[in-house]
Amino acid sequence: MKRIFTYMKKYKMLFIIPTISMFFLIGLDMINPMITGVIIDDVIVGGEFHRLNGLLLLLIFITLGRAVFGYIREFLFDYAGIQVGLDLRRDLFDHIQSLPFEYFDKTNTGEIMSRTTRDVDNVWEVVGFVAGFFLEQIFYVIAATTMMFFINWQLALICTLVFPFLGYLAVKMDRNMSTAYEEISDQDAKLNTKAQENIAGVRLVKSLNREKLEKKKFRRENKKLYQLNLKRNNILGNFHPKIEFLSYFSTILVVLVGGVFVINEQMTIGSLVAFNGFVSMLVWPMRFLGWLTNSLSRCNASLKKIFKIMDEVPGIKNPENPVSPERRQGAVTFENVTFQYGKEKILNHIDLEIKPGSTIAIMGATGSGKTSLANLIPRYYDTSQGQILVDGVDVRKQDLQELRQSISVVMQDTFLFSDTLLENIKFGSEEAPREEIEEAMKDARVYDFIQEMPQGLETIIGERGVGLSGGQKQRISIARALLKKSPILIFDDATSALDMETEYQIQKALNKRGDITKIIIAHRISAVKDADEILILREGNILEKGNHHRLINQKGYYYNLYKNQLGDVTLLNKEVI
């Protein structure tokens, strides 16, 4: 909870001014019962009617003052809360952006969504409203108790007997509620993940007729959340009557003992009425105790979750004194590189030399480590052993942004934003001139189909590019990568959804860019056969290496693959003939 004060400090005036207003407000509230007492004792009982107008006027001024100070308090606390919420969400999002791939491998999107939305809202609610209200209630209690002691200390002492019990209840309730809220927050994240995954994969769910099962799974998680909320409700319900009882008990005590004091003339009726006015100021904070503890515990649980993410140290960091290569020309060297995910070894002692402007293809069975190998070049992950040099400098010594700017990657899993086609293509090269955009579109073979669309480049596509074919989505990702004009280009199975003709056209366009180093991961011979070097990976080891002719002559894995794929083509040709 303490760490939130660092955020609040920045807006201290936005907290100080409403706090001062709050003091004035409480001060005015303390005068009200006293005036009522005077009206009863001096005007009604004492017959000093000439004082009535003045006293009523004072009451009106107090009411007006209350309205003004109340407004300032309300508005500024709320404003401060909005600012703190804004900063917290921004910092959380910025931090999430700095986290490496590894973090996202082990954390669900739904959970991250929960933290950046609901949890920040819980904090905002407390900072902007509940905390101020809580403070106000504490001061009301202090001020009203002081006034009560001032009017009649014996009666005040009797009333405050309930305070230790209330304190005990509040602390106990906070402990129980904090645990309950942590569980709720975790379950909420799970439910969010379930909903997010189901909605993102709705087409798969429908195509496999899994709606019923998915509904069942969602209901199960939803029910767990319901049960946890019920548990929280029970805790609240368990404490609430006790708090209510104690708060009303003090009122009964006042009427009872105060009545005796009035009968014994130890107190006037006006003083008793004034005293009762202050007691009612105590009753409200007591009644709110449950609600306040509830909100504070919820905020505390949310803060814990938020700061847990904020405390995640990015495993892949920018070096303190980055070294830039003399020239960015696209040379890549793997020196005895070993890589593992956790304990699982993925790549074994890989040595590889990729010359600037050359084309290197990587093939191999699924899971042989092709993507993992490519992911090490832009430092999506760091090697476990050995080093990777880009243009002669270890990637870990280079400025991360600069390094990644020098590499364009078309990932296996195409992702398009729900935005216009233009924005999707320009993503990462926002300043690119129109001619370059058109050139990239032509090279990626998207120019023609985009021209045919009613709104051309301004066509908005749905999340993940709904409304486009798989091949069209891949081609847009290729256009995006080509536009970046980086010296290194990585295609991770980027043409798998394209027909051979389109794939061939794109290859031709790539060959035009002789100064770019091309790393092509593919399963089809047609996509790799013209590469300067073809690498066959098996279980993280280099099985074969060489150009097309050399590998054919070796009569190994590549040769067999070629035979199989060519066999299909021959068969196809025969059928056509």
Residue 346 interacting with ligand ATP (CB under 6 A): yes
| 17-36: contacts with ligand ATP (CB under 6 A) | none
Candidates 16-24, 167-175, 329-337, 361-369; binding stretch for ligand ATP (CB under 6 A) = 361-369
Residue 370 interacting with ligand ATP (CB under 6 A): yes
CB of 97 to ligand ATP, least distance (A): 19
CB of 518 to ligand ATP, least distance (A): 17
Task: Pick from 110, 364, 378, 465 the residue near ligand ATP by CB under 6 A.
Answer: 364
Question: Which segments within 324-445 are labelled E, that is strand?
Answer: 332-341, 344-354, 359-364, 385-390, 393-394, 407-410
Residue with tokens 């191999």: 364
State which amino acid sits at residue 324.
S
Token pair, residue 276, equals 């009762």
CB of 381 to ligand ATP, least distance (A): 8
Candidates 269-277, 284-292, 366-374, 442-450; binding stretch for ligand ATP (CB under 6 A) = 366-374
Q: How many CB atoms lie within 10 A of CB 453?
A: 14
CB of 106 to ligand ATP, least distance (A): 8
Largest CA distance in the chain: 121
- List C-alpha distances in Å: 221 to 123, 178, 365: 24, 21, 38
Task: Pick from 176, 368, 383, 408 the residue near ligand ATP by CB under 6 A.
Answer: 368
Residue 527 interacting with ligand ATP (CB under 6 A): no
Cα angle for residues 79, 81, 82 (degrees, 5° grid): 65
Residue 406 interacting with ligand ATP (CB under 6 A): no
State which amino acid sits at residue 525.
I
CB of 551 to ligand ATP, least distance (A): 18
CB of 472 to ligand ATP, least distance (A): 21
Task: Pick from 185, 372, 406, 507 the residue near ligand ATP by CB under 6 A.
Answer: 372
Task: Pick from 341, 499, 564, 568 the residue near ligand ATP by CB under 6 A.
Answer: 341
CB of 103 to ligand ATP, least distance (A): 11
Residue with tokens 């013209």: 530
Residue 105 interacting with ligand ATP (CB under 6 A): yes
Question: 412 or 547, CB closer to ligand ATP?
Answer: 412
Residue 366 interacting with ligand ATP (CB under 6 A): yes
Neighbouring residues of 128: CB distance < 8 A, sequence distance ≥ 6? 77, 78, 79, 80, 81, 82, 84, 85
**In this structure, what DSSP letter does residue 462 have?**
-
Question: 413 or 575, CB closer to ligand ATP?
Answer: 413
Neighbouring residues of 516: CB distance < 8 A, sequence distance ≥ 6? 330, 357, 486, 487, 488, 489, 510
Question: 369 or 465, CB closer to ligand ATP?
Answer: 369
Q: Which long-range contacts (CB under 8 A, 24 or more apart) does 428-435 make?
A: 428/480, 428/483, 428/484, 429/480, 429/483, 429/484, 429/485, 432/483
CB of 523 to ligand ATP, least distance (A): 7
Neighbouring residues of 118: CB distance < 8 A, sequence distance ≥ 6? 188, 302
Question: 14 or 346, CB closer to ligand ATP?
Answer: 346
Residue 383 interacting with ligand ATP (CB under 6 A): no
State which amino acid sits at residue 463.
E
**Whole-number Å distance between alpha carbons of 330 and 518:** 9
**Whole-number Å distance between alpha carbons of 486 and 116:** 33
**Whole-number Å distance between alpha carbons of 313 and 320:** 15
| 247-266: contacts with ligand ATP (CB under 6 A) | none
Candidates 70-78, 364-372, 505-513, 568-576; binding stretch for ligand ATP (CB under 6 A) = 364-372
CB of 494 to ligand ATP, least distance (A): 12
Q: What are phi and psi of 556, to 5 degrees?
A: -110, -135
Token pair, residue 418, equals 């729900």
- List C-alpha distances in Å: 279 to 36, 50, 485: 14, 29, 75
What would the x/- binding string for ligand ATP be over residues 82 to 101, using CB under 6 A? --------------------
**Whole-number Å distance between alpha carbons of 27 and 546:** 87
Residue 315 interacting with ligand ATP (CB under 6 A): no
Task: Pick from 21, 178, 371, 486 the residue near ligand ATP by CB under 6 A.
Answer: 371
Candidates 51-59, 305-313, 367-375, 494-502; binding stretch for ligand ATP (CB under 6 A) = 367-375
Question: 344 or 452, CB closer to ligand ATP?
Answer: 344
CB of 519 to ligand ATP, least distance (A): 12
Residue 367 interacting with ligand ATP (CB under 6 A): yes
Which residues make up the interface to ligand ATP (CB under 6 A)? 105, 341, 346, 364, 366-372, 412
